[in-house]
Structure 1
Amino acid sequence: MSTTMPPSPPDLLIEIGTEELPPKALNRLSRAFSDAIGTQLEQLRLPFKAIHSYATPRRLAVIVTAVSGQQPDQSVERRGPALKAAYDSQGKPTKALLGFAHSCGVPPEQLEQIQTPKGSWLLYRTQQPGQSLAQRLPQVIEQAVNLLPIPKRMRWGDLKAEFVRPVHWLTVLYGEKIIPIELLAQHSNRVTFGHRFMAPAAIELNSSADYLPSLQHAFVVADFEQRREQIRHQIEQAATTAGGRAVIDPDLLDEVTAMVEWPTAVVGSFDPEFLRIPAECLISAMKGHQKYFHLIDDRGKLLAKFITISNISSRQPHLVQQGNERVIRPRLADAAFFWQQDQKSTLDSRYEALDSIIFQQQLGTLKAKSERLQQLMARLATELKLPVKEAQQAARLCQCDLLTDMVGEFPELQGVMGRHYAVAEGIPTTVAAAMNEIYLPRHAGDTLPQGELGTALAIADRIDTLVGIFAIGQKPSGTKDPFALRRAALALLRLTIERQLPLNIYTLLQHAATLYQQQLDEPVIVSRLASSEVVTECFHYILERCNGYFSEQGIDSAITEAVIALSPPEPLDIAHRIEAVKRFQQQPQAAALAAANKRISNILRKNGHDLTHESAPIHADLFQHPEEQQLWQQLQQLGPVAEQLFQQRAYSEGLTLLATLKEVIDPFFDQVMVMAEDSAVRQNRLTLLSYIQRLFSQVADIAALPAEVN
């Protein structure tokens, strides 16, 4: 006997048609709209198979496949007053019972009784019929629209409706049926629109299934991901045909995808004479102003060609090409003019004008920051054995390109242009490179400075910024980090660890605080800087970033916490300690020694001992058990060797040596009562444990490690 499967529920189409949406926000708006629709349908118990989002410059849409048209009925239970409080001594309903029954819409006798461990209670039980999709959908869509991440909504005409752009149509179809909704000054219908120029007429949809084929026929690729990959493929194909390779910036690709509905790649060219100016200037002009993709040759050099993505498929593509070539020429001519004009003045001649640019209102100007950087660089140059004169020159000039016309037009070229202008002036190449490398790394995963001078300058810049912003009480809170201090702290870790620089971050912070004190005259800020408050806050803030940094390298957070518990001042030293503890944990004795250290730590803490407690001498004549004597003999033999290894920062070798103590520590705890009645014996044993703790704690707080190794 064959069974017939019930038909699948229809698909739901929701489309909001608008004027051109902000390109950089389109993908985010689309995801938020789709997520909000899906979440609410799930909360309303309206199951569906899948939800697909669609976004073009003129629309936000979702198709929810096989969505149920009806909520299931729901059992509703409400517990009322306790039975003993429901009736008075004469058996009549109390006010509590009458009020509860009234709120449920039934007479008291229709209420049920339930037994619980805490007694008998009255219960109202009913079946609440589910509502239809058509009844609930208006609220779903309105809520999804309200939740969209729109910083500033706009009104249009004399309407009260508010949205990111004026809304021109609203399409809501459940299968073949229109679900009536009034939203954003529009009434839902079955009409959509295709390409603004290539198919401007209204399109009437018979059902939600007609949506994608109808738009494709009307020159609209509605799926954002599909359109993006189509653009990528066209660019790569066009670049190959043009004899080059396109550099496809992911952010630019997303932005261009959000600007077109029917993408068509067009190759253009410009006068090769423009290639005489730095390539970054031409690229910024093409990307920033015109949204063009630039081409390079096999050696990575810029070609005098570009690719633009047109929103129409023209019958005369050469006219589109010529139009874009006409538009880009004055842009490139401006860049060439800025390049020539800027070179008429040296970078150093602009230095005094830095006094007109505010770094931070309470912390002074960029010139003041430059003066601090010069002194920080003098110190770093001495510590890292770099040429002091060049180090201070890099600090003096690194902000000066901010005052050039080129950087004024293309702010993203700050640093890049400083390097180019410095090279053109004949400034040493190491100094020129540092003027760009001060900004590296710009983000997570970014490259680090290649030069020693650039690395030092990047460190000095982050140190100065962290101390200054912490001094004025603007440290990050929650998700707010307007001065990118998290990024600065992580950059410090990367710069010192990955460039293998043994720098004491704490003393550098102290030096920066002293420099601020010499410049500022605000008593409250100067007072905070003069105390250890700001430096300590900054230092621990940097240490806190170690967890995130090392976890990305697969390091267990327990290991990182054990090391930074001792607050080592050098990030490179922290990395060495973490590696040593990681190796220590792989040894068979590690779990037992971690447990022993926990026990030692607890005993010492309860008896007023800690790492700051001065160690008293150990008296062998007070030992009463051979296990004490054996432990002390091993400590006398191994302790000095381990301490010497730790002083040489041979942490792995030192911990490996101390791991052999397990053979004498375990019998000690098995046979010896630490808290002896005799105070002298007890104190001697505590001192012995304190010495063990001090040995291990020269690397990390071993007691903080898990006793069991996963």
Structure 2
Amino acid sequence: MNLITTPAMIKKTFLMELGTEELPPKILRNIGENLTHLFTQELNNAKCNYEQIQWFATPRRVAIKIINLSLLQENINIKKYGPLIVTAFDQDGKITEAAKKWALSNNINISQATRIQTNKGERLVYYKNIQGRHVKEILPTIVCNTIKKISVPKLMRWGNSSIYFVRPVHTITLMLGREIIETTILGLPSNRIILGHRFMGESKLILDDADQYPNILYERGKVIADYYLRKNLIRNQAEIEAKRLGGVLKLTDELLEEVTSLVEWPVILTAKFEKRFLNIPVEVLIHTLQDKQKYFPLYDTNGQILPYFIFVTNIESLEPDKIILGNEKVIRPRLVDAEYFLKIDRQQSLEERLPDLKKIIFHKKLGTLFEKTQRLKILAEWIASKIGCDIPQSIRAALLSKCDLITNMVLEFPETQGIMGMYYARYSNELEEVAIALKEQYYPRFAGDKIPSNLISCSLAIADKLDTIVGILGISQYPKGDKDPFALRRNAIGILRIIIENKLSIDLKILINKIIILYDKHITNNKVIDEVIDFIFGRFLNWYQEKGYSNNVIHAVLAILPTCPLDFDARVRAVSYFLTLEESFILLSLNKRISNILSKTTDKLNKNINVYLLQESEEILLNNLLNKIQTKLESYCINKQYQEALIELTSLNKPIDNFFKTVRINTSNKLLRLNRLTLLTKVQELFLKVADISLLY
């Protein structure tokens, strides 16, 4: 028996490769993953079946390979609902304008539509079956759509063309099995030619079949196209080399990925530098080796840096010693410079540099760094008094906090600000906690980074960050989109983390007021207090979401406008716990009922309850309970025992329910009505002691 093979049954490998100029190394993996995600969406939308999709990326190419792609799209069945029959035809049975517009939008005649019964009544419906096309016909469109949607920080245009991509594209290959898909993408015709390594192997390779990719590049082109294969190869060989030298690697994934994105054929080599350079602060050494040169520093088993480094080159050389010597020659002058800057900087203490800060502008509308330093001294003193740390040393740290910014070392290596302040403070025999504060004033520097380790550091870090936020918002310069040049969002999160994780009791509103007074006439935004509070506490939303708290809980606490972050945190935790209790649902529903009643009244309510107008036993009981609970709640709230406060409120469940069952609120007697509404207002005010729980229901 002969089986007939149809296009829908046949599956082939599809390959798309874009040969480019050097792609940005820090986003190469993102480009590959983004292309894959977008391509997958396009395939799924087009009803194309496949087994697996793979991506490849090197400095000079990105590629997508689809395994077992069906040659035929699935058939697409479309059902388009039209207007109800009563609106599609008038009393004489003639077609209405609504029906005509619907038919026109679907490019059909009304006669092609049928009728269907729905729960809203009988209506027009149009069924259409679209036969699946050969994937060869739709793949060029899928590729174009994918490329247009790619998300990168900046696209380039090259030559005289109006074509944009991450980098100029020189080759494009679209193959389905052994067949080249003839089309033009990004102004280039698709062909079988792909490029090998720039200096090794075959420079040009001709693909006979999409399945040859990426092996043909590896075997003949000296290119490892698989991103993760290169990454693991670099890590494994570097660790072997480190072990051979008796050292330890501390590879960050960020550095490893950047190096992976810089090479197509990684070769691991080891070089060294003079031991005398170990006297340079270790952070400067690491920054020079790692951040500037993309080298891998080596450490001994005690964590001390060794005079060796591992580097990755992009070429196999018959004379690797020359490559090693070349890299040693590159790193030496940088280390010599750092050594020289250190020597020159130590000739002057940090405090002696203080007057020079008058020449450095913090912001053209907010004055100099010297003026900022004077504010920080006062702010750090106030914060220190509130959190119980050494006040004179907090003032000292604030005084020296910005002096390293005008040292030769920091001017040459800006990334070492704060770090060099710490070293220069130590050289001047400042207290260790003061020295550490100069470094930790910038903590946390990014999401997940550590926070300051001592209270002096905390006082300086909070003062510095809040001073910047108040100043920038005080002249109405707000972060927009991804543009936040003064890192206000990061500073806000940093303030919240420092306060909450160290359990520091600081009222930000009071501190903001102090900063505004210190800025004097520099502040021109008369709404700055509310805007700063909203800006900082608005960061709580994402932070608590990441921790698993619901939006409703966060908004319920935000609604009562707390200004102490530690207090805010305690309320969020309490409300979240409260929602796990069975009694919470009853209290929430009763509170919702109270809110609905009060929202509908237009009467001006009394400030206090008139006990002489309480007639029913249920309203008398409820009022008495309110007075007792009021006293307890005040004590709980003073001690931030919000969990206990909410549990106490559940004792009102039955009295409130009985009140609603027996007491008539909307009585014709206006005095009684107003008094009973006032009673409900007092109940609602108790609920608001912790959070606006009406937002939880």
TM-score by length of 1: 0.87
Is 2:679 the counterpart of 1:677? no
Structure-to-structure mapping, 1:411-490, within 5 angstroms:
411-490=414-493
- Equivalent residue, structure 2, for 1:514: 517
- Equivalent residue, structure 2, for 1:66: 68
Question: Is residue 275–residue 304 contact of structure 1 (8 Å, CA) maintained in 2?
Answer: yes
Compute the displacement of 1:460 (Å): 1.1
For the residue of structure 2 that corresponds to 1:10, the secondary structure is strand
Question: Is residue 15–residue 171 contact of structure 1 (8 Å, CA) maintained in 2?
Answer: yes
Structure-to-structure mapping, 1:615-630, within 5 angstroms:
615-619=607-611, 621-630=612-621
- Equivalent residue, structure 2, for 1:503: 506
Gaps of 5+ in 2: none
Question: Is residue 111–residue 122 contact of structure 1 (8 Å, CA) maintained in 2?
Answer: no
Distance 2:454 2:103 in 1: 80
The equivalent position to 1:190 in structure 2, one of 181, 189, 192, is: 192
The equivalent position to 2:563 in structure 1, one of 562, 569, 576, is: 569
For the residue of structure 1 that corresponds to 2:69, the secondary structure is coil
For the residue of structure 1 that corresponds to 2:11, the secondary structure is coil
- Equivalent residue, structure 2, for 1:274: 277
- Equivalent residue, structure 1, for 2:597: 603
For the residue of structure 2 that corresponds to 1:635, the secondary structure is helix
**CA distance 1:166–1:642, change in 2 (3 Å):** closer
Distance 1:502 1:426 in 2: 32
Question: Is residue 111–residue 123 contact of structure 1 (8 Å, CA) maintained in 2?
Answer: no
Compute the displacement of 1:468 (Å): 1.8
For the residue of structure 1 that corresponds to 2:332, the secondary structure is helix
Larger mean CA deviation between 46-55 and 206-215 belongs to: 46-55
**CA distance 1:592–1:13, change in 2 (3 Å):** same
The equivalent position to 1:20 in structure 2, one of 7, 22, 28, is: 22
Distance 1:104 1:631 in 2: 65
- Equivalent residue, structure 1, for 2:48: 46
Larger mean CA deviation between 536-545 and 689-698 belongs to: 689-698
**CA distance 1:79–1:585, change in 2 (3 Å):** closer
Distance 1:105 1:626 in 2: 72
Distance 2:124 2:576 in 1: 61
Distance 1:101 1:509 in 2: 63
Question: Is residue 606–residue 678 contact of structure 2 (8 Å, CA) maintained in 1?
Answer: no
**CA distance 1:166–1:563, change in 2 (3 Å):** closer
Q: What amino acid is the match of 1:471? A: G
Compute the displacement of 1:281 (Å): 0.8
**CA distance 1:618–1:577, change in 2 (3 Å):** farther
- Equivalent residue, structure 2, for 1:635: 626
Question: Is residue 115–residue 124 contact of structure 2 (8 Å, CA) maintained in 1?
Answer: no
Distance 2:569 2:94 in 1: 77
- Equivalent residue, structure 2, for 1:214: 216
Distance 1:598 1:48 in 2: 52
Larger mean CA deviation between 200-209 and 361-370 belongs to: 361-370
Larger mean CA deviation between 9-18 and 476-485 belongs to: 476-485
Question: Is residue 627–residue 671 contact of structure 1 (8 Å, CA) maintained in 2?
Answer: yes
Gaps of 5+ in 1: none
Compute the displacement of 1:54 (Å): 0.5
Q: Deviations over 1:334-373 (max 9, x none)?
A: 2211211222222233333334433333323333322322
Distance 2:85 2:653 in 1: 66
**CA distance 1:699–1:164, change in 2 (3 Å):** closer
**CA distance 1:58–1:343, change in 2 (3 Å):** same
- Equivalent residue, structure 2, for 1:304: 307
Compute the displacement of 1:213 (Å): 1.6
The equivalent position to 1:348 in structure 2, one of 338, 346, 351, is: 351
Question: Is residue 615–residue 690 contact of structure 1 (8 Å, CA) maintained in 2?
Answer: no
**CA distance 1:500–1:113, change in 2 (3 Å):** closer
Q: What amino acid is the match of 1:242? A: L
Compute the displacement of 1:162 (Å): 5.4
Q: What amino acid is the match of 2:564? A: E
Compute the displacement of 1:576 (Å): 1.9
Q: Deviations over 1:646-688 (max 9, x none)?
A: 3333333333333223343322222222333333333333333
- Equivalent residue, structure 1, for 2:360: 357
Larger mean CA deviation between 449-458 and 693-702 belongs to: 693-702
Question: Is residue 111–residue 124 contact of structure 1 (8 Å, CA) maintained in 2?
Answer: no
**CA distance 1:637–1:95, change in 2 (3 Å):** closer
Compute the displacement of 1:80 (Å): 11
Question: Is residue 606–residue 674 contact of structure 2 (8 Å, CA) maintained in 1?
Answer: no
Distance 2:164 2:622 in 1: 78
Number of residue pairs the alignment of both structures matches: 690
Is 2:693 the counterpart of 1:699? no
Structure-to-structure mapping, 1:173-322, within 5 angstroms:
173-184=175-186, 186-218=188-220, 219-322=222-325
Larger mean CA deviation between 479-488 and 495-504 belongs to: 479-488
Is 2:36 the counterpart of 1:34? yes
Q: What amino acid is the match of 1:40? A: E
Q: Deviations over 1:472-530 (max 9, x none)?
A: 22223455444332222222211111111111111111111222224x2xxxx53x34x
Q: What amino acid is the match of 1:250? A: D
Structure-to-structure mapping, 1:650-665, within 5 angstroms:
650-665=641-656
Q: Deviations over 1:591-628 (max 9, x none)?
A: 21222222223333434689xx7741441x44333323
- Equivalent residue, structure 1, for 2:397: 394
Distance 2:357 2:338 in 1: 23
Distance 1:76 1:703 in 2: 45
**CA distance 1:506–1:608, change in 2 (3 Å):** farther
- Equivalent residue, structure 2, for 1:325: 328
Indicate the percent of aligned positions where both proteins have the same amino acid: 36
Distance 1:212 1:501 in 2: 57
Q: What amino acid is the match of 1:441? A: P
**CA distance 1:160–1:359, change in 2 (3 Å):** same
Distance 1:549 1:500 in 2: 17
**CA distance 1:382–1:316, change in 2 (3 Å):** same
For the residue of structure 2 that corresponds to 1:16, the secondary structure is strand
Q: What amino acid is the match of 2:645? A: G
**CA distance 1:4–1:427, change in 2 (3 Å):** farther
Larger mean CA deviation between 302-311 and 399-408 belongs to: 399-408
Q: What amino acid is the match of 2:413? A: F
Question: Is residue 386–residue 505 contact of structure 2 (8 Å, CA) maintained in 1?
Answer: no
Q: What amino acid is the match of 1:170? A: I
For the residue of structure 2 that corresponds to 1:442, the secondary structure is coil
Q: Deviations over 1:245-295 (max 9, x none)?
A: 111122111110011112222222221111111001111111123210112
- Equivalent residue, structure 2, for 1:689: 680
The equivalent position to 2:588 in structure 1, one of 575, 590, 594, is: 594
For the residue of structure 1 that corresponds to 2:49, the secondary structure is coil
Question: Is residue 433–residue 454 contact of structure 1 (8 Å, CA) maintained in 2?
Answer: yes
Distance 1:568 1:10 in 2: 62
Q: Deviations over 1:377-402 (max 9, x none)?
A: 23223333444443233223222222
Compute the displacement of 1:539 (Å): 0.8
For the residue of structure 1 that corresponds to 2:214, the secondary structure is helix
Compute the displacement of 1:98 (Å): 12
**CA distance 1:120–1:644, change in 2 (3 Å):** closer
Q: Deviations over 1:424-478 (max 9, x none)?
A: 1222222221111111111121111011111111111221122122222222345
Compute the displacement of 1:224 (Å): 0.8
- Equivalent residue, structure 2, for 1:581: 575
TM-score by length of 2: 0.88
Distance 1:461 1:291 in 2: 32
Distance 1:688 1:498 in 2: 40
